[in-house]
Amino acid sequence: MADSQNPLRGRGASDNPVNRFEGNYIDYDLDEETGEKPAPKTQLIRDATQSVITYNKSEDIGFNASINPYRGCEHGCIYCYARPYHEYLGYSSGLDFESKIVVKYDAPELLKKELSSPKWKPQVIAMSGVTDIYQPVEKELKLTRGCLKILAEFRNPVGLITKNHLITRDIDLLCELNDYNCVSVTISVTTLDNDLTGVMEPRTSRPKRRLEAIRKLADAGIPVGVNVAPIIPGLTDHECADILEMAAAAGASHAGYTIIRLPYKVKDMFVEWLGQHYPDRKKKVLRKIMDIRDGKLNNYEWGTRMKGEGNFAKQISDLFKVQTKKLGLNEQNRYLTTEHFVRSTGSQLNLF
């Protein structure tokens, strides 16, 4: 990574670390008037991939198939574990990840083609398994909405997770899916602190709006839960109980959590970010993270990478169990079904 930079307004990262595959440092030109690096404008880059459903074999991820029209995420969450994926595209996991958004403009059409194929075995599809399907550009492009229309047409079950209030725009389609027990929604809430959200997750919906989204979805009868994620020891862990309480009050029926993961260059960017915004807490946060990661800032081991290990990780786990039981969360397991799947209803839906 280059020398430490000043925080950039509206962005999570402040710089572009070297791509670990290509060894390139992608610099940005200095502003002639201020002499500082301006926050890069968002660029949309066409993705020519001829498939939209991807598959994973991770032992600790609860889905096999997923779809996402976007690679890279304008939300700019500094801790995002998906940042290193951008390096496979020849970009950086820093500012490139949140400003160079690779778009599958024909995602709905590709999805319809794949679901129509005899090779498709109906199963739950996850949306937002990596980057957020309701990031700001979705408001204009409506590709996530287009995919939901296809899923509703085929009655294929889908689980969605997002940090963006924009999901409430698609309540009509979510209700249509829910008629066939084909949808579940999870809203991620990291913190209730607006100021912290503004620098840690700069282009996400603020906490109040996320709780409002839970309420709107619950009022529409859509199964909705909260994901307290990621919990950042020494920075947000003290908020877990309050987040769960407010989400339950808004209508959440289920809850989950993960602890911060810092793969590859993400750990370097996170350390720099702490120094920029929370220098007084930096040592404490890093020490606590290492306490649950066997003395390291990241652990890649399946089964422990999501929750951590050790006494502090157990404290978080115990608190979560007690609080969810107290609030009546996770009392009923709801399984999405493929029994209503139809290869095609024959309707000519307008994707956009």
**In the predicted structure, residue 27 carries a pLDDT above the cut 60:** no
pLDDT at 308 > cutoff 90: no
Of the pLDDT bands very low, low, confident and very high (cuts 50, 70, 90), residue 275 is very high
Q: What is the pLDDT of residues 35-81, one digit of tens each?
A: 455 678 999 999 998 999 998 776 556 668 999 999 999 999 999 99
Inter-residue contact 37 to 8 (CB < 8 Å): yes
On the question of pLDDT at 31 being above 80, the answer is no
CB within 8 Å of 350: residues ≥ 6 apart: none
Q: What is the reported pLDDT for 3?
A: 40
Report the 3 state secondary structure along the chain: CCCCCCCCCCCCCCCCCCCCCCCCCCCCCCCCCCCCCCCCCCEEEECCCCCCEEECCCCCCCCCEEECCEECCCCCCCCCCCHHHHHHHCCCCCHHHHHEEEECCCHHHHHHHHHHCCCCCCCCEEECCCCCCCCCCHHHHCHHHHHHHHHHHHCCCEEEEECCHHHHHHHHHHHHHHCCCCEEEEEECCCCCHHHHHHHCCCCCCHHHHHHHHHHHHHCCCCEEEEEEEECCCCCHHHHHHHHHHHHHHCCCEEEEEECCCCCCHHHHHHHHHHHHCCCCHHHHHHHHHHHCCCCCCCCCCCCCCCCCCHHHHHHHHHHHHHHHHHCCCCCCCCCCCCCCCCCCCCCCCCC
219-239 per-position pLDDT tens digit? 999 999 999 999 999 999 999
Structure tokens at 38: 């301006």
**pLDDT of amino acid 149:** 98
Phi, psi of 311 (to 5 degrees): -65, -45
Q: Is the pLDDT of residue 350 over 70?
A: no
pLDDT for the residue numbered 38? 61
Query: Stretch 281-299: mean pLDDT, rounded?
Result: 91
Mean pLDDT computed over 108-128? 96
Q: How confident is the model at residue 10 (pLDDT cuts 50, 70, 90)?
A: confident
Measured at the CA of 171, the angle between CA 167 and CA 175, to 5 degrees, comes to: 135
Q: Is the pLDDT of residue 24 over 70?
A: no
Angle ∠(277,280,286) on CA atoms, nearest 5: 85
pLDDT over 90, % of the chain? 74
**What percent of the chain has a predicted confidence (pLDDT) above 70?**
88
Q: For residue 2, what pLDDT band results from cuts at 50, 70 and 90?
A: very low
Q: What is the model's pLDDT at position 295?
A: 86
- Average pLDDT value over all residues in the chain: 90
Q: In the numeric block, which tokens belong to residue 258?
A: 């993960």
159-208 pLDDT per residue, tens:
999 999 999 999 999 999 999 999 999 999 999 999 999 999 999 999 99
pLDDT, position 348: 45
Question: How many whole angstroms separate alpha carbon 64 and alpha carbon 42?
Answer: 31
> Does residue 304 carry a pLDDT above 70?
no
CATH level 3 topology of 43-327: pyruvate-formate lyase- activating enzyme (3.80.30)
pLDDT of residue 121: 95
Residue 128 has pLDDT above 90, yes or no: no
Res. 140 pLDDT band, cuts 50 70 90: very high
Work out the pLDDT band at 19, boundaries 50, 70, 90. Answer: confident
Closest-CA residue to 231 (of 326, 179, 307): 307
In this model, does residue 347 exceed pLDDT 50? no
pLDDT number for residue 272? 96
* Rounded alpha-carbon distances, angstroms, from residue 117 to 112, 134, 343: 9, 27, 8
Residue 263, CA distances (Å) to 27, 33, 161, 162 in order: 22, 36, 21, 21
b/e 185-214 (16+ beta carbons within 10 angstroms → b): bbbbbbbbeeebbebbbbbbbbbeebbbbb
